[in-house]
Structure 1
Amino acid sequence: MGEFVDTVLRFPVVVLTFALVVVVCFWLLVLFGASDVEALEPVDALGLGGVPATVALSITIIVAWFTSLVVTVLLDGLDPTLVTVLGIAGLAIAVVVGLLVTRLILIPLRKVLPDAPAASRHDFVGLVCVVRTGRVDTTFGQAEVTAADGSSAIVQVRMAGEDPLPSGRTAVIYDYDADGEFFWIAPVDLDSTRD
């Protein structure tokens, strides 16, 4: 075990050993819920797009680390000056190999990890909702809305005008107020629109 530790702390692998420690710590944080897999935006450069940047960078660092470990073992016992020169070249090769292997691994991963846009409250604008509180007026109200994926949510709603909208009535969401964090609704009669 001591020989392995000595090897991973020698140049050139030591440069990527610290990057690997960061990757392992990040994935431990994800495992315990302290971080998110999509903590970084996808990286479209170098053909690494279509998956979260954390996944692409982690794969690249792991493959580059293993490649640089092989380079370090191959350079063992050579002249220190030669080890430095070949180590720099080996480190560059390890990074290139890491990127190339990552591109190959990401081809099937892109199919498994769909690139769906993040859900937004503005997705509810234009949908029909049902009033669930006793009334909806300019200062109070909640309604149930069903999203495109079939899930439903109870949201805060407000309605302009003097006549409150009673419980059970249908309405259409026509705007979202980001400051007040509520939706503006207008009553709609679905039976009359079907005629």
Structure 2
Amino acid sequence: MSEFLDVVLSFPTVIFSFLLVVVIGYWVIVVTGLFDLDEADAAWLGLGGAPAGITVSLLVALAWLLSLIGGQLVSGPALTVVPVVAAAGAWVCVRAALAPLRRLVPEPRVHSRGDFVGQMCVIRTGEATSDFGQAEVTASDGSSAVVQVRTTGQDRLARGDDALIFDYDADGEFFWVMPYEKEL
């Protein structure tokens, strides 16, 4: 056991041993419920759609193992490149292992301005005319945005009026709106 600890706590493995302790601590916290797994894994690293906590854990564990093996096989000045080779090897292996997940996990949806067309909005400036106006619109995910709006013809909308977004002008970067009266 002391031989193993000597190897684990010596160069080059010690670099990844510290990181492995951090990863183990992370998973202990996740498993005990002190940390919400959904929030912790919200970030994505682009390695095939796996959550960041899982991806980083696999990278560190594999780099630690490759560093442990490389430290035993290599000696002398070549020992200094073992951590770099271990990290690169781990990156390649984890990326290849997680590649099939790209087909299973949908990419996060990127919202565009066109998503607001057909939505109701509420005028937030004193009035909205063919030259100026702002309105608040709520997206399908519940978030809201204040957008630039314009009316057609002689329509004038006052603050608090409901309007329907019916088009987007990409050149002017504003939405065309028209008055909307709720059915009784």
Q: TM-score band (shorter)?
A: 0.5 to 0.7
Which one of 53, 60, 68 corresponds to residue 66 of structure 2?
68
The residue number in structure 1 matching 2:162 is 170
Contact 1:59 1:102 in 2 (8 A): no
Q: Is structure 2 residue 109 aligned with structure 1 residue 95?
A: no
| Deviation by residue 1:37-96 (Cα, 9 ceiling, x = unmatched) | 55x7x3xxxxx522479x84x556434421221122221559x9xx89xx99xx69x837
SS where residue 184 of structure 1 aligns? strand
SS at match of 1:173: strand
Please state how far the C-alpha of 1:120 moved relative to its aligned partner. Answer: 2.4
TM-superposed CA distance for 1:130, in Å, is: 1.4
User: Does 2:123 correspond to 1:131?
Assistant: yes
Q: Secondary structure at the match of 1:116?
A: coil
| Aligned partner (choices 7, 11, 20) of residue 7 of structure 1 | 11
Equivalents in 1 of 2:109, 2:176: separation in Å? 24
Identity of counterpart residues, as a percentage? 41
For 1:185, the aligned partner's letter is V
User: What are the Cα deviations for residues 126-157 of structure 1, in whole angstroms up to 9, with x where unaligned?
Assistant: 10011122221111011121222223322211
The within-5 A match list for 1:122-161 is 122-161=114-153
Q: Partner amino acid for 1:169?
A: D
Q: Using structure 2 for the length normalisation, give the TM-score.
A: 0.55
Instruction: Measure, in 2, the Cα distance between the counterparts of 1:146 and 1:182.
Output: 16
In the alignment, the residues of structure 1 paired with residue 130 and residue 111 of structure 2 have an alpha-carbon distance, to the nearest angstrom, of: 27
Give the TM-score, by structure 1 length. 0.53
How many residues get paired? 145
Q: For the residues of structure 2 that align with 1:140 and 1:73, how far apart are their CA atoms?
A: 68
5+ long unaligned stretches in structure 2: 1-6, 20-42
Q: Residue deviations 1:147-182, cap 9 Å, x none?
A: 222233222111111232222221111222233222
Q: Which amino acid letter does the alignment assign opposite residue 71 of structure 2? A: V
CA contact (8 A) 2:128 2:157 kept: yes
